[in-house]
Chains A and B, each alone.
Chain A
Amino acid sequence: QKEVEQNSGPLSVPEGAIASLNCTYSDRGSQSFFWYRQYSGKSPELIMSIYSNGDKEDGRFTAQLNKASQYVSLLIRDSQPSDSATYLCAVMDSSYKLIFGSGTRLLVRP
């Protein structure tokens, strides 16, 4: 069974710090990886997508992918209280289905 694993948290960081969110996946054939942010009671919002090994930066967000280790991470620089949410790691399988992790709850303390 294909699995995506995340630490449920909460991960608590002070405002302005770097938040590091991690994710591992079991399907070695996966090629597409996504990070979503979800506020309570709301639908997920796409933050980043990454398809090749290495880093991908977009503003304060950096996604990192290591396919050999089956590991994806998301770094949030200069964390803001508004970043407090649940972050979902998702992996797309060969039939274009998204498999979600259980999410990591991030709390940014003012």
Chain B
Amino acid sequence: GAVVSQHPSWVICKSGTSVKIECRSLDFQATTMFWYRQFPKQSLMLMATSNEGSKATYEQGVEKDKFLINHASLTLSTLTVTSAHPEDSSFYICSAGQGNEKLFFGSGTQLSVL
């Protein structure tokens, strides 16, 4: 199946700093990638849809100035958590599709903000 690579797998940072997470589709071109967040024992919540060459579409309640998304190429999308705070600590997962029907997930990034 298609491979989606996500980096880093985990990151610990101080409150107030920014963290960048990368999501790459390794063997296919992804015009659209999705970013999810998952708190412990909860389901995945869609944060935003990342579109190559255009602005991301954010879900209701997600601050676009705090969660910066850049989709500069057909194989790379980045999510930057700006001025991170402890409440931003979560498991962040990206996904990309091959066609419109199936999505493949990255391995996820566990963010811990101290």
Residues of B within 8 A of A34 (CB): 102
Residues of B within 8 A of A (CB): 1, 6, 32, 34, 42-46, 49, 91, 93, 95, 97, 100-108, 110
Distance (Å) between the CB of A89 and the closest chain B CB?
9
Secondary structure dominating the interface of B: strand
B43, B95, B97, B104: which contacts A101 (Cβ < 8 A)?
Answer: B43
Residues of A within 8 A of B (CB): 32, 34, 41-46, 49, 51, 88, 92, 95-103
Contact A42 B102 (CB under 8 A): no
Contact B44 A49 (CB under 8 A): no
B34, B101, B110: which contacts A97 (Cβ < 8 A)?
Answer: B34
Contact B32 A42 (CB under 8 A): no
